[in-house]
Amino acid sequence: MKLDLLLFLISTSLFGQIQKKEYILDEDDKIIMQSEFEKKLGEYVDNATKYSYVIINTDSTITAKLVTRISTGNISKAKRDDLAAHLGKTTGKKVSSNQTLLVYFFYPDYDKSSGMMNELCIRNYVNNNKIKRLSKEKEIAHATFTAKDYKFGGGKTFEDASDYIKQNFFMHGSHCGNYIIVRPDGSYYKMYGEHHKDKMLDKLKNGW
């Protein structure tokens, strides 16, 4: 579906209101043409699409914004310690300064045709035996969060009731799984959206 048609449908689908102003932004919040937007959506890095996009809907505007799916860098010691403390408080397990942190985050996903909750992605993740075995890895502290007000009953997850995880790490995440790996030195690898779990596990244990 062409982006302009998608925007039009979303902007007029709720109550048949007057069409809203439409904007197309790149990953740095700069206005770009639709052709450039669609070209970027076709770019690949690390055998995965480089960009995804989010639709931001307000009373008067509707915006399609590119989101970089894969990012790496470093967070401060204070921010890493804060995340470790949050994981420890949430899970009830001690998290040490020499553990690698793995955080998964899921937004609720609704089937477009039925409007019913689609939990295939999160179920595939929490029921994966390789993921379950991470709880036995002493050098890894791992937790799976769901967005605020999304209570998943099919496995061990924690609701991000304070919005801490979302606000700090996954503001523009995808429905089908988002994760961040943070090493003891603060270096991190973050990915939005669907991905190969084996590749994630390889990065978790061997780096990137």
How far apart are alpha carbons 118 and 191 in whole angstroms?
Answer: 21
The reported pLDDT for the residue numbered 159 is 94
Assign residue 115 a region: left if phi > 0, alpha if psi is -120 to 50, beta otherwise?
left
The pTM (predicted TM-score) of the whole model is: 0.81
CATH number at residue 106: 3.40.30
Q: Using a CB cutoff of 8 Å and minimum separation of 24, what contacts does 78-83 make?
A: 79/168, 79/186, 80/182, 80/184, 80/186, 83/168, 83/182
Residues 75, 51 share a domain: no
Domain boundary among 68, 85, 117: 68
Question: Is the same domain home to 93 and 192?
Answer: yes
Tell whether 86 and 56 lie within a shared domain: no
Cα–Cα dist 109/91, whole Å? 24
Cβ-contact 170, 56 below 8 angstroms: no
92 and 54 in a common domain: no
Task: Report the pLDDT value the prediction gives residue 74, as an integer from 0 to 100.
Answer: 97
Residue ranges in the chain assigned as alpha helix (H): 3-13, 34-41, 77-91, 120-126, 129-132, 164-169, 197-206
User: In the predicted model, is pLDDT for residue 21 greater than 60?
Assistant: yes
The pLDDT, as a whole number, for residue 29 is 93
Residue 4's pLDDT is what? 62
* Cα R_g (the chain), whole angstroms: 18
pLDDT tens sequence across 130-143: 988 988 899 999 99
Question: What number is the average pLDDT over the span 173-192?
Answer: 91
* Interatomic CA distance for residues 182 and 165, integer angstroms: 13
User: How many domains does the chain contain in total?
Assistant: 2
Label the pairing between strands 158-159 and 140-146.
Answer: parallel
Residue 101 is encoded by which pair of tokens?
Answer: 């942190």
CA dist 105 and 123 (Å) reads 13
- Residue with more model confidence, 188 or 1: 188
Same domain for 131 and 88: yes
Looking at residue 122, what is its pLDDT? 87
Same domain, 176 and 85: yes
Q: Mark whether 60 and 86 lie in a shared domain.
A: no
Same domain, 86 and 64: no
pLDDT at 193: 85
* Residue carrying the six token digits 């045709």: 113
For residues 133-157, average pLDDT: 88
Return the amino acid letter for 159.
E
My answer on whether 85 and 57 are in the same domain is no
Structural domain range at position 53: 3-68
Query: Which of the listed residues 68, 87, 112 is the one where a domain comes to its end?
Result: 68
Q: How far apart are CA 88 and CA 99, in angstroms?
A: 12
From 4-18, 148-162, 180-194, the region with the lowest mean pLDDT: 4-18
Least confident stretch, 30-39, 113-122, 144-153: 113-122
DSSP 18: P
| One domain for residues 118 and 172 | yes
Percent of the chain with pLDDT over 70: 87
Same domain as 81, residue 45: no
Query: Of the ranges 1-5, 89-93, 126-130, 149-153, which is most confident?
Result: 89-93
Residue ending a domain, among 30, 46, 68, is: 68
Residues 44 and 83 in one domain: no
pLDDT band at 153 (very low <50, low <70, confident <90, very high): confident
Q: Taking residues 13-27, what's their average pLDDT?
A: 75
- Give the integer Cα–Cα distance in Å for 170 and 178: 7
